[in-house]
Amino acid sequence: MGIATEMKELTRNIASSHKGRMRRIGEIKEEVNETRGEARSLLADFEASRKETNRQMRGDLAQDKAQRNSETRGILKDAQDILKGFVAYRKEAGAQLRKNLSGGTAEIRSKVREMQIEAQKLITEFGVSRQNASLALKKDLSISRKKSKSEVGKLLESAKGLVKNFQSSRKEAGDRLRIDLAQSRANTESDVKQMLGSFGEIRENVRADLKEARDAWQGLASTMQARRGSEKTPLKAEEVPVVEEEARNIEAEMLAIVNEHLDGIDLVGVAEQLGVAPVVLGRVSKSLVDKGEVRKDEKVYFPATIR
């Protein structure tokens, strides 16, 4: 009775430690999923920021271009007004010249030359002003383009840094997860070895107790025979139940339980119904599979008739 209680306690301890490890693995998976979600959110924010920056730069360039075009149109309008004034002035001067033609040819020619020189100066100044405006516009557009490229380069560098930090964080999380899994596996193996050692000690103690009981039983039978003067032989050692008979009973019980579960059952479920540790069912399950009485799919056992 004490051995069965201890075996049930060991089984419950194994189940609780397994649930704890599975819970820890689930928490680690949730942390990794949260990290991935945050990384995706950062990338989405960066993409939205980049699109907003591109849209704003395009708007600024369009506004700057419109302003330059407006300034150019103003300069052209001023030049046209000057030319119109010059044409009007030339007409007026021609009329005045024809009117004052009789006043002196030399004086008229001098005035005409002066007017031509002034007109040429006006045309030259207009050309220089137009060239300067064009150069200033090109220079402003070049500066704006360089500034845009610089800002885009900075944004790309920031994005690369974010991606690099995300990859580093993901690698650290993966390494930590592998270390935790390796430690958990080592702890599990250590616990299983301790259980096997304890089970071996318990089995030896049971065998010693059975042997002692068998010897006591044989001694009692011999004493009773001697008193009665009977010629019957004492009970043989084979008549005392041994561990192999108990193993055959467990095998039959496991077969019955597997046949009841058409959808399959694992060793932990069978052990819980039998009230023994899953380690005890290792050889029993292998024997049933080798005999073809049950079918094993990964860690789940099915009746041999279910395919």
Q: Which pLDDT score, from 0 to 100, does residue 4 have?
A: 72
Residue-by-residue pLDDT tens, the chain, 307 positions: 567 787 777 777 787 777 777 888 888 888 888 888 888 888 888 888 888 888 888 888 888 888 888 888 888 888 788 888 878 887 887 788 777 766 666 776 787 788 888 888 888 887 888 788 778 878 887 887 787 778 878 877 877 887 777 777 777 877 777 787 777 677 766 666 666 666 666 666 666 667 666 666 666 667 777 776 644 444 443 443 433 434 447 889 999 999 999 889 999 999 999 888 888 888 899 999 999 999 998 889 999 877 6
pTM of the model: 0.24
Q: Which pLDDT score, from 0 to 100, does residue 205 have?
A: 66
Assigned CATH for 241-307: 1.10.10.10
Q: Which pLDDT score, from 0 to 100, does residue 96 have?
A: 80
Q: Domain residue spans in the chain?
A: 2-197, 241-307
Residue showing tokens 């820890």:
24
Q: Which pLDDT score, from 0 to 100, does residue 301 have?
A: 93
Distance in angstroms (rounded) separating the CA atoms of residues 265 and 78 = 96
Q: Which pLDDT score, from 0 to 100, does residue 206 have?
A: 66
**140 and 64 Cβ atoms separated by less than 8 Å:** yes
Of residues 264, 214, 272, 203, the one with CA closest to residue 239: 214
